[in-house]
Structure 1
């Protein structure tokens, strides 16, 4: 693992890169770009952030392929005008304001030696010799009904995956479901997702999908539900394991939701781990440390570590994190906590209320570990 922070003072940006370079095989890189001057106007901030991506592509990561980028915006409807060059990569925009007071932060994901192809507005494929990594982003259908929107989005996603001989059950690894007004509209999304999953054979006695379901607003303010998703063509069921950490967390279906706590995927040369949005919960499904954001954050990371341990890894393998806060007033305390404990990991802290009001913080992460599975094709 390599960890590098770059400050480009002429652009007022900080670029935090975490790189995975296995002994044999392609490198992977996760990057968080943050802005350093909240007094700059929107056009200056976006010009500089976008220039930072170009500079990164032409310098530090020039031999790698940009596969995915997500902008976290403070005002998506008004700021979409500043994001014009989407490029070939999977492209995601969500209104989840960075809590450092700036207009935007960006998460980037690069793969060395990948062939990238955009297939329409919502689909992007990164091809490697043995696998195709399929990203769908910004899936939405604004009909002013969160349940109907969810059903339509999932059905459209199912049909799109079928074009690549893939299914949600066998090939989808991770989803991000953003719900505008999560305190009001989350229940309808959950109900619709559960019904759809039942039809597709996704149940508590089979498996679900690693996911984050969180507050988020799209550039079209009429959209109540937006989804990003990641699937892998060429993957086999034996390569996928689901992380539960039942000593710390309850099964999600016991309190009416349908997602996996985490998913581990083995390739010939590495292990990918996707940890879903994780909060301060116990094995009975109850909120731990109500009203105390620091204690909730501590419990959240205790839960994450328990999940990671099932995949035989620890926090040193984490490539990137997103920290979601319900209350903007908690930012300074959580920012200090993150700098003290996890300064070596690229992360962003955004405003996004969690699905249950009593949860003050939620964290998701992606981790990588080098392993040797000679019976499997390499990543």
Structure 2
């Protein structure tokens, strides 16, 4: 029995090591429709075979030229952040219905209802994505009130023969 367990453990370890040596197919995306990324990518696309996982960096209220939209107004800032998320998802060939996870980072979590009002114009409210909301003490620029990151699973188009 001990030999059988040891053999199974060795096979598991060998299989795990082999899986880790095969790099996943990952590409990075920086659409021109959102503010230029400086020192990071807006999204990482991971090929999952029949679909693509899109991991989107936190989006804030910066327009395509990098200017802050809606200083002091969480609703306007949420609108810009969601517009940025939508632009990135669409650049990867998806729609906002493909978003499966949203994470919110807010200076004031009591503003979450205003953010949800905007969110509901972008997502499928009958099956909303999983989400997390966190209150933070500061974001990378003083004018920013929130940051929103997302993950999407985008089905690949089936070829018709």
Instruction: Identify the TM-score tier after normalising by the shorter chain.
Output: 0.7 to 0.9
Q: Tell me the equivalent position of 1:242.
A: 28
- Runs of at least 5 residues in structure 2 that lack an aligned partner in the other structure: 1-11
Q: Tell me the equivalent position of 2:71.
A: 290
Does the aligned pair in 2 maintain the 1:243–1:264 contact within 8 Å?
yes
* RMSD (Å), alpha carbons: 2.6
- Runs of at least 5 residues in structure 1 that lack an aligned partner in the other structure: 1-116, 118-126, 133-232, 253-257, 374-379
Q: Tell me the equivalent position of 1:364.
A: 149
The TM-score, its normalising length taken from structure 1, stands at: 0.34
Mapping 1:57-68, distance limit 5 Å: none
Sort the Cα spacing of 1:131 and 1:267 in 2 relative to 1 into closer, same or farther, 3 A. Answer: farther
Q: Tell me the equivalent position of 1:55.
A: none
The one of the two structures with greater contact order (alpha-carbon pairs below 8 A, sep at least 6) is 2
Q: Deviations over 1:173-232 (max 9, x none)?
A: xxxxxxxxxxxxxxxxxxxxxxxxxxxxxxxxxxxxxxxxxxxxxxxxxxxxxxxxxxxx
Q: Secondary structure at the match of 1:321?
A: strand
1:339: Cα distance to partner? Answer: 5.2
Q: Secondary structure at the match of 1:347?
A: strand
Distance 1:305 1:339 in 2: 13
Higher helix content, 1 or 2:
2
Q: Which segments of structure 1 move beyond 3 Å, counting only runs of 4 or more?
A: 335-343
Q: Tell me the equivalent position of 1:345.
A: 129
Distance 2:155 2:54 in 1: 12
Higher strand content, 1 or 2:
1
Q: Tell me the equivalent position of 2:43.
A: 262
Distance 2:104 2:122 in 1: 13
1:300: Cα distance to partner? Answer: 0.5
Does the aligned pair in 1 maintain the 2:82–2:119 contact within 8 Å?
no
Distance 1:372 1:331 in 2: 35
Q: Deviations over 1:216-261 (max 9, x none)?
A: xxxxxxxxxxxxxxxxx5226xx32221121221232xxxxx2111
Does the aligned pair in 1 maintain the 2:100–2:150 contact within 8 Å?
yes
Distance 1:337 1:372 in 2: 29
Size of the alignment, in residue pairs? 140
Q: Secondary structure at the match of 1:365?
A: strand
The TM-score, its normalising length taken from structure 2, stands at: 0.74
Does the aligned pair in 1 maintain the 2:63–2:69 contact within 8 Å?
yes
Does the aligned pair in 1 maintain the 2:79–2:118 contact within 8 Å?
no
Q: Deviations over 1:138-173 (max 9, x none)?
A: xxxxxxxxxxxxxxxxxxxxxxxxxxxxxxxxxxxx
